[in-house]
């Protein structure tokens, strides 16, 4: 099966083409600007360089967050539009799940800590059972210092850009637990592989929809404090 996977939920935007679980091509861009202007051009470029056509695709997968509200919306809307036009299934994958599945070779639970900006982080905990990774808590939006108190003396392996940025608040280091480990945070290819493993979550048919994982409500929906 040939599939397109993309993620624009964070400044680490990525697009990947996979044939089965083999990554045929991948494009990565670290940018604080919106990915909207480059996303479709990136898809077109990868298809052209791989010798593929849009009609070759049998699945489109996208990261559904958490992350930037605008970034998530751009990625999900683009993926849904392509799937709708091509009449192929769409799969939405949590970016926290994708980060957790980047972790290999550890012998304990995994805590994914992603930078949510505004001095906050997104957190979810995962267990490993018989070689499989399963979410057991979260996702939640937390203050790094409060999360650090919660995780004190916890035997977690911490991963994610939030774990790196707030290592001091989380009391994380590279020698004892909670122990910080490094992984690849460009997620498109992992999102594609997880989509293949989760066929029951695929959506197809007319009027495709997705359920983005925003966690933090958009600013436009937050109640305004009266000045009276």
**Per-residue pLDDT at 112:** 97
Same domain, 73 and 117: no
Rounded CA-CA distance 97/5 in Å is 15
Domain membership flag for residue 148: yes
Same domain, 171 and 210: no
Number of domains in the chain: 2
How many residues are there in the chain? 228
> Tell me, what CATH number does 77's domain have?
3.30.420.40
The fraction of the chain above a pLDDT of 70, given in percent, is 93
Residue 43 CA: distances (Å) to CA of 8, 79, 90, 167: 13, 11, 16, 35
Q: Is the pLDDT of residue 1 over 60?
A: yes
Same domain, 176 and 189: no
Rounded CA-CA distance 40/7 in Å is 12
Same domain, 65 and 131: no
pLDDT tens by residue, 117-165: 999 999 999 998 877 899 999 899 999 999 999 988 778 999 999 999 9
Q: Distance from CA of residue 57 to its chain's centroid?
A: 21
pLDDT, the chain, mean? 90
**Per-residue pLDDT at 228:** 47
Same domain, 63 and 145: no
Cβ distance 156 to 83 under 8 Å? Answer: no
Same domain, 6 and 87: yes
Query: What pTM was estimated for this model as a whole?
Result: 0.91
Same domain, 42 and 116: no
Phi, psi of 20, deg, nearest 5? 65, -135
Phi, psi of 181, deg, nearest 5? -125, 155
Domain with 162, as residue range(s), is: 103-180
Cβ distance 41 to 34 under 8 Å? Answer: no
Same domain, 157 and 170: yes
**Per-residue pLDDT at 31:** 80
At residue 43 the predicted structure's pLDDT band, cuts being 50, 70 and 90, is very high
Q: Is 206 exposed, middle or buried (0-12, 13-18, 19+ CB in 10 A)?
A: exposed
Same domain, 156 and 134: yes
Domain membership flag for residue 224: no
Nearest alpha-carbon partner for 191 in 75, 109, 83: 75
Same domain, 113 and 69: no
Rounded CA-CA distance 87/57 in Å is 10
Residues 6+ apart with CB under 8 A from 181: 103, 106, 157, 158, 159, 174
**∠ at Cα 31 (4, 92), nearest 5°?**
30
């Amino acid at each position: 099966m040939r599939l397109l996977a993309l993620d624009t939920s964070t400044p680490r935007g990525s697009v990947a083409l996979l044939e089965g679980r083999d990554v045929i091509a991948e494009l990565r861009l670290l940018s604080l600007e919106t990915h909207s202007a480059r996303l479709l051009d990136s898809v077109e470029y990868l298809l052209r360089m791989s010798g593929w056509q849009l009609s070759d695709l049998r699945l489109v997968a996208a990261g559904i967050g958490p992350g930037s509200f605008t970034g998530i919306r751009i990625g999900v809307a683009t993926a849904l539009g392509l799937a709708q036009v091509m009449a192929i299934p769409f799969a939405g994958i949590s970016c926290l799940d994708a980060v957790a599945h980047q972790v290999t070779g550890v012998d304990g639970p995994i805590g994914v800590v992603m930078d949510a900006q505004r001095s906050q982080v997104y957190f979810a905990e995962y267990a490993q059972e018989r070689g499989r990774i399963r979410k057991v808590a979260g996702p939640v939006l937390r203050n790094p210092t409060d999360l650090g108190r919660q995780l004190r003396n916890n035997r977690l392996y911490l991963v994610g850009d939030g774990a790196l940025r707030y290592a001091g608040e989380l009391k994380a280091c590279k020698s004892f637990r909670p122990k910080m480990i490094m992984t690849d945070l460009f997620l498109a290819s992992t999102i594609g592989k997880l989509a293949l493993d989760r066929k029951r979550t695929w959506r197809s048919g007319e009027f495709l929809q997705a359920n983005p994982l925003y966690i933090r409500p958009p600013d436009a929906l937050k109640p305004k404090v009266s000045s009276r």
